[in-house]
Structure 1
């Protein structure tokens, strides 16, 4: 997992090329001017999902992971917490939605919570179980972008 902000003066060449493309896209795009939806960055291997979502209490937000894609989760507007923990083969899967590359877990342990502010992003690899859109202070509608990067592009 990587946590940073588009406001940092991070040198993008330090990231693998697909991740650098995603971060550049986040820095260069005015997401408040766009409609929610899916935007291709590099075909089906790198694309962005733009959506509005209400934050949820911890006990209602689901922990998730992915097999084929990594997530670059970017907070455009609002505040949220994201729980994160390492993959444990003993965690029970609540639901696996193969066509969306989405695994939900019944329960996880040893979560650390990241407080996300506007402009922050987290990069979650397949072994990073994460619980996005958790209330940070009070419930609110957040605007968020999740850039999906096919893990095979990093090889």
Structure 2
């Protein structure tokens, strides 16, 4: 998991994988005020952005998720969102809903060692496939959030000789 802010991207960009660079460059350079909620291609089906509007909820109302095939980059445009995060370890409980290939997600209720990560506008969070995360949380009262989630096929990171 990596957390950052667009204001630091110019410096931090040099240390990022080229695939992550492409995704975050897209996030920072795109005027999302012109885009309605929906899905937008960046690199075909291997990398795409989802513009999402939601109302944050309590931890008890929101299941956590873990992907197998895709990385996520959550980028907050408006509002205040907390994302619960836990590295998948051997002592995690079984999923409440098993992995579904078409959704690329297993869903969890309680997860071990969950840490809240608060995002404010301009912040991004890169989540690796092994990261269990619970997006869309509020730490106080429910609130409106507008965000973008970039989905990146893990195969784009494979090194070929």
Q: TM-score, normalised by structure 2?
A: 0.91
1:7 is aligned to 2:7: yes
Distance 1:58 1:106, change over 3 A: closer
1:99 is aligned to 2:102: yes
2:28 and 2:115 mapped to 1: Cα distance? 26
2:20 and 2:87 mapped to 1: Cα distance? 21
Q: Say whether the 8 Å CA contact 1:18–1:46 is kept in structure 2.
A: no
CA offsets 1:6-52 (integer angstroms, 9 cap, x no match): 12133423211111000000100111221110000011111001110
> Per the alignment, in what secondary structure is the counterpart of residue 102 of structure 2?
helix
Deviation (angstroms), 1:54: 0.8
Q: How does 1:65-84 map to 2 (within 5 A)?
A: 65-84=66-85
Q: TM-score, normalised by structure 1?
A: 0.95
Deviation (angstroms), 1:102: 1.4
Partner of residue 55, structure 1: 56
How many residue pairs are counted as aligned between the two chains? 155
Q: Which runs of 4+ in 1 moved over 6 A?
A: none
Q: Say whether the 8 Å CA contact 1:70–1:150 is kept in structure 2.
A: yes
